[in-house]
Amino acid sequence: MPHGNALEGLDSFHRWFGERARASDYLVKEAPLERLDGWRVDPDTGNLVHRTGRFYTVEGLEVTTGGAGAERSWAQPIIRQPEIGILGILVKEFDGVPHLLMQAKMEPGNINTLQLSPTVQATHSNYTRVHRGKAVPYLEYFTVPGRGRPLADALQSEQGSWFLGKRNRNLIIGTDDDVPVLDGFRWVPRTELDALLRLDNVVNMDSRSVLAAYPVPVDARLAREDSYRGALARSAAAPADATELLSRFTAAKATRSLTRRRVPLASVPGWHNDGTRVAREDGRYFSVLGVDVEAGDREVARWSQPLIAPAGRGVIALVTRRTDGLLRLLLSVRTQAGTFDVAELGATVQCDPANHPDAPPPFLDHVLSAPQDRIRFDAVHSEEGGRFHHAENRYLVVEAGDDLPLEAPDGYLWATLRDTAELVRHSHYLNVEARCLLACLNTLR
Amino acid sequence: MPHGNALEGLDSFHRWFGERARASDYLVKEAPLERLDGWRVDPDTGNLVHRTGRFYTVEGLEVTTGGAGAERSWAQPIIRQPEIGILGILVKEFDGVPHLLMQAKMEPGNINTLQLSPTVQATHSNYTRVHRGKAVPYLEYFTVPGRGRPLADALQSEQGSWFLGKRNRNLIIGTDDDVPVLDGFRWVPRTELDALLRLDNVVNMDSRSVLAAYPVPVDARLAREDSYRGALARSAAAPADATELLSRFTAAKATRSLTRRRVPLASVPGWHNDGTRVAREDGRYFSVLGVDVEAGDREVARWSQPLIAPAGRGVIALVTRRTDGLLRLLLSVRTQAGTFDVAELGATVQCDPANHPDAPPPFLDHVLSAPQDRIRFDAVHSEEGGRFHHAENRYLVVEAGDDLPLEAPDGYLWATLRDTAELVRHSHYLNVEARCLLACLNTLR
């Protein structure tokens, strides 16, 4: 077979992935922040900075949000990385079946070390080779105009709780080239990726984020079914009419406010650097820790870096409902510390329940108490292991119970899949949690 | 007639507009900056600020742009107004013909005092009544969800040369209500507005900006014509395929950089406040001057304010070309001092030729030397008279000559009208100059 592996199925994938895991030669050890090679705690600010001034910094941020209910103010540590990386997936048809070129990639924060990442997953520092590491393979498909056919290409935001205005260029590029498959890479059929997305911790965040914009064709046969999946297919084929949705979102942005001020990390109240980690006294939210890494298959064989380690496992859930035969998705309007432009549309629920012991966020109880037959998707996925340490979330797609009011409450919007797919083609509508859920939801099509 | 004036035609409009002008009771006088009532020159920074700290400030900005050819750095005065105003047009059908509720509005910077403005044109200070002035009529149609049908609603940027990240909410709202027509307002048929857009200095910038997103239906008869207008109609009906365009624009944003630092106005090299105006020694670009205003029909009867006065009349031109029977528009990728997010798509040419005596910008000569039969639109329009003093631009739509290379040069993109109309539904794709031209171009449909 010209492409090496296509059409061999999931067993073959797992054999390959297992081999990659065994062949990987890496070691990740937690190390005290004050002894991370190449990094230092700035004596004036307490910020964590690389000696070159590059890559990223961990600093403090004061935040005030207004307009969505009461005004709120807080301060927190946040990662600042004011550069735009590339997350790109190459797509090619073999025997009429679209295959995606994926990579088994080690990231130091991954709970299981190797996960499936896009063809190219590179920070600006990576691909301009600040590391003086190896060149990034396949990069030219995503940087040289006309090298392939763009299927999707937009700047998309990442975790607003942990990143200050961070975004990456998310691309899907089609090609007919005879593309050499390098060690660690594999053409994965689209349907096989769907199956992998239903497994825990295989498909990494960067892949999920990019896959959200994959143009899934509507299955006409499915669209006639009187089922959840039928309603989903009809939702994808619904008349395009995002105007009402756009208007409500614009209204939210125009009436909310997000004021921020970068402050020294050492000045953030309630957070403390004890030389090992930066953490809160009450143990909530997250801590910042350091790792030493030795790896055989990365651009640089040995390095150290800080990571954000969330305190517990989160819940990222989408409430859906069938109305008029169409599935509708309940999106939330979210203003987070690092949101690029005031607000984006998020999952119905996105939180770590342990952070809210007394007042659970809206819909959390609804999704956690849903009976099995209303849970349409349920898998644990990890957030980006290059910045986050063991950051797992339970991704849920839940069909609403009859007790849920039809009207979306303030700060929430019902959207068809068609409209949501239209929004994800553009920047800064869907946050990373909503995009990752959209990739999960699309596995049901 | 229930709506007072519909279907009476252009003569009737001009009679009404002339009466409004005669009835307007206003006086605008230039006044030295150092003696503007309510405003002061901050002694530490030289910034122009209102005594309440509200409305807007004129301050200094250091700018460095990179990635689009050579790196460039400069400093300049700029208006900072970090709040989102409302520009909203109410639309209603009378006898099946859409009419837009427009307002004859005085602005102190208008060369002819009165121009036609949207139903609501209000800064956040206006409509939250910081002025303690009159309530803004019709405001509820644009702020209360469900009060009408949104036809378009997005945050849109304004002049990147003069405003720091400024944007307003641009709305078009449809209604079937029996709307009372207040003094100074008038239902204007869409086709009559087209005729008015072809006249000099009648339809103000705010109206043009909003009209850019007006959903003009495709004229099927016209689309069969072998003419410029036929190619325009076919361009509006072209298959939706903005993906390539979006990808090129995303690439530009991902590879360009825009770094800014707010600095004291007094520290901006080459600019000087002599007590009367802030201006450059060489007289280029613009100056900042003050005006005292007395008006009978405004929220507040008497006020003073600074305005930006461009040095000369500018040229805002769109080069178009027929290829494969479709009209294509040549948009430029622009990074300006105040651009909200790195780059937006602008007109082919937007400049004051007098600022470039030695090296005219690309395409300027091409549009200025175009023979009459290739000039498809030609009118002089003013920029927002609430912030800019006698800021006129010649708006041109030109059909390219055969000497123009087919390939768009670096920093330029060819787009169909269909794709452009798709982009204008979203924020921060088309800058205000491109949107105003789009409104002009649509008059040919």
Q: What ipTM goes with this model?
A: 0.93
Cα-flanking dihedrals φ and ψ of residue A373, to 5°?
A: -75, -5
Asked whether the predicted pLDDT for residue B349 surpasses 60, the reply is: yes
| B4: pLDDT strictly greater than 60 | no
Q: What is the DSSP letter of A401?
A: P
Are A150 and B425 an interchain contact pair (Cβ–Cβ within 8 Å)? no
Q: How close B151 gets to chain A, by Cα (Å)? A: 7
* Amino acid in position A35: R
Q: B82 at the A interface (CB within 8 A)?
A: no
Residue B352 in this model has a pLDDT that exceeds 80: yes
Per residue in A340-355, pLDDT (tens digit) is: 999 999 999 999 999 9
Q: What is d(CA B135, CA A138) in angstroms, rounded to the nearest whole number? A: 59
- Pick from B84, B154, B247: CB nearest A153: B247
- d(CA A101, CA A179) in angstroms, rounded, equals 10
Check if B253 contacts A (Cβ < 8 Å): yes
Q: Which of A151, A169, A246 sits opposite B250 (nearest CB)?
A: A169
Instruction: Tell me how close the Cα of A145 comes to any Cα of chain B, in angstroms.
Output: 8
By Cβ distance, the residue of B153, B242, B246 closest to A247 is B153
When scoring B87, B419, B426 by the number of chain A Cβ atoms within 10 A, the one with the most, hence best to mutate, is: B426
Q: Tell if the CB–CB gap between A155 and B254 is shorter than 8 Å.
A: yes
Candidate from A153, A246, A250 with C-beta closest to B250: A153
Mean pLDDT score, A148-172: 98
- Buried/exposed B178-187: b ≥16 CB within 10 Å, e otherwise: ebeeeebbbb
Q: What is the mean pLDDT of residues B309-338?
A: 97
B414 contact residues in A (CB cutoff 8 A): none
pLDDT at B388 over 50: yes
Asked if B86's CB is within 8 angstroms of A244's CB, the reply is: no
Say how far apart CA A99 and CA A176 lie, in whole Å. 11
Its sign, for the CA torsion B321, B327, B333, B334, is: positive
Check residue A6 and give its pLDDT. Answer: 46
Those residues with Cβ within 8 angstroms of residue B266's Cβ, 6 or more apart along the chain or in another chain:
B45, B46, B47, B60, B273
Nearest to A243 among B151, B155, B244 (CB): B151
Chain A residues whose beta carbon lies within 8 Å of the beta carbon of residue B171 = 247, 250
CA–CA gap between residue A142 and residue A148 (Å, rounded): 8
Give the Cα-Cα-Cα angle A246, A166, A52 (nearest 5 degrees). Answer: 165
Q: Is the pLDDT of residue B209 over 90?
A: yes
Return the DSSP state at A266: G
CA atoms within 13 A on the CB side of A374: 17
Q: For chain B, how big is the Rg over CA atoms in Å?
A: 21
Out of A145, A247, A425, name the one closest to residue B150 (CB). Answer: A247
Query: Which of A144-148, A360-364, B431-435 is predicted least confidently?
Result: A144-148
Tell me how far the alpha carbon of residue A365 is from its chain's centroid.
Answer: 23
* Parallel/antiparallel/unpaired status of strands A114-117 and A120-122: unpaired
Q: CA-to-CA distance for A131 and A45, rounded, in angstroms?
A: 26
> Mean of the per-residue pLDDT values for chain B?
94
A153 to B425: CB separation less than 8 angstroms, yes or no: no
DSSP B265: G
Q: Is the Cβ of A112 closer than 8 Å to some Cβ of chain B?
A: no
| Highest mean predicted confidence (pLDDT) among A68-72, A131-135, A388-392 | A388-392
Half-sphere exposure of B436 (CA within 13 A, CB side): 34
For residue B254, the distance in angstroms to the closest alpha carbon of chain A comes to 6
Inter-chain residue contact B153 with A341, CB threshold 8 Å: no
Q: Do B248 and A155 touch (CB under 8 A)?
A: no
For residue B338, CA distances in Å to A120, B78, B109, B273, B333 come to 33, 8, 21, 22, 14
User: Is the CB of A190 inside 8 Å of chain B's CB atoms?
Assistant: no
d(CA B333, CA A41): 40
Interface contact A153-B84, CB threshold 8 A? no
pLDDT for residue B405: 87
Radius of gyration of chain A from its Cα atoms, rounded to whole angstroms: 21
What whole-number distance in Å separates Cα of residue A151 and Cα of residue B243?
Answer: 7
Three-point CA angle B18, B21, B23, nearest 5°:
110
Residue B134: pLDDT band with limits 50, 70, 90? confident
Is it the case that residue A374 has pLDDT exceeding 80? Answer: yes
Query: pLDDT for A81-113, tens place per residue?
Result: 999 999 999 999 999 999 999 999 999 999 999
Question: Which residues does chain A have within 8 Å of residue B248's beta carbon, measured at their own beta carbons?
Answer: 145
Neighbours of A287 (CB within 10 A): 20
pLDDT at B9: 81
Least confident of B131-140, B269-278, B351-360: B131-140
Distances (CA, A) of A124 to A54, A169, B333: 10, 10, 22
Q: Which residue of A has its CA nearest to B150?
A: A244
CB pairs under 8 A between A and B: 68
DSSP letters of B316-364? Answer: EEEEEEEETTEEEEEEEEE--TT-TTS-EEE-SEEE-GGG-SSSPPTTH
Interface contact flag, A254 B145, Cβ < 8 Å: no
The CA distance from A128 to the nearest CA of chain B, in Å, is 12
CA terminus-to-terminus distance, chain B? 28
The answer to whether the CB atoms of A244 and B150 lie below 8 A apart is yes
Q: Which residues contact B408 (CB under 8 A, 6 or more apart)?
A: B330, B414
Q: Do B243 and A145 touch (CB under 8 A)?
A: no
Which residue in A6, A178, A182 sits closest to A95, CA to CA?
A: A6
Mutation target among B139, B245, B250 for the A interface, most CBs of A within 10 A: B250
What pTM does this model have? 0.95
Residue from B87, B137, B138, B93 nearest B117 by CA: B87
Who among B153, B253, B254 is closest to A246 (CB)? B153
> What are the CA-CA distances from residue B270 to residues A253, B66, B265, B284, B314 (Å)?
38, 22, 11, 10, 22
**What is the distance between the alpha carbons of residues B415 and B420, in angstroms, rounded to a whole number?**
6
Instruction: Determine the pLDDT at residue A296.
Output: 67
Query: Interior CA angle at A105 toward A102 and A107, to 5°?
Result: 145
Structure confidence by residue, pLDDT tens digits, B231-262: 999 999 998 889 999 999 999 999 999 999 99
Model confidence at A69: pLDDT above 80: no
Looking at the DSSP assignment, which residues form a beta bridge with residue A103?
A: A117, A185
CA distance B121 to A236: 37
Cβ separation A155–B425 shorter than 8 A: no
Do B169 and A254 lie within an 8 Å CB cutoff? yes
- Measured between alpha carbons, how far is B287 from A381 in angstroms, rounded to an integer? 56
Distance CA A339, CA A345 (A): 11
Interface-testing mutation among B64, B81, B167, B243, with chain A (most A C-beta atoms within 10 A): B243
Binary contact (A86, B254; C-beta < 8 A) = yes
Mutation target to probe the A interface, by most A beta carbons within 10 A, among B171, B253, B427 is: B427
Question: Is the pLDDT at B180 greater than 60, yes or no?
Answer: yes
* Contact criterion met (CB < 8 Å) for B254 and A151: no
**Residue for token digits 């050499």?**
A180
Cβ distance A246 to B155 less than 8 Å, yes or no, reads no
B248 touches chain A (CB under 8 A): yes
Q: Which of B271, B278, B385, B261 is nearest to B48 (CA)?
A: B278
Which amino acid belongs to residue A244? E
Contact A114, A21 (CB under 8 A): yes
CB contact under 8 A, A171 and B247: yes
Q: Which residue has the tokens 């990740």?
A: A28
**Per-residue model confidence (pLDDT) at position A334:** 97
Strands B114-117 and B97-106: antiparallel
B84 touches chain A (CB under 8 A): yes
* SS3 label, residue B197: helix
Chain A's closest residue to B246, CA to CA, is: A153
Between the two ends of chain A, the Cα-to-Cα distance in Å is 28
The residue among A91, A149, A153 with the most chain B CBs within 10 A of its CB, best to mutate, is A153
> How many CB atoms are located within 10 Å of the residue A209 CB?
26
Contact B425 A243 (CB under 8 A): yes
How, if at all, do strands B326-334 and B314-323 pair?
Answer: antiparallel
B159, B338 in Cβ contact below 8 A? yes
Percent of chain A, pLDDT > 70? 96
Percent of chain B past pLDDT 90, that is, above it, reads 88
- Given an 8 Å threshold on Cβ–Cβ distance, is A169 in contact with B426? no
pLDDT at A297: 58
Run of H or E including B194: helix B190-197
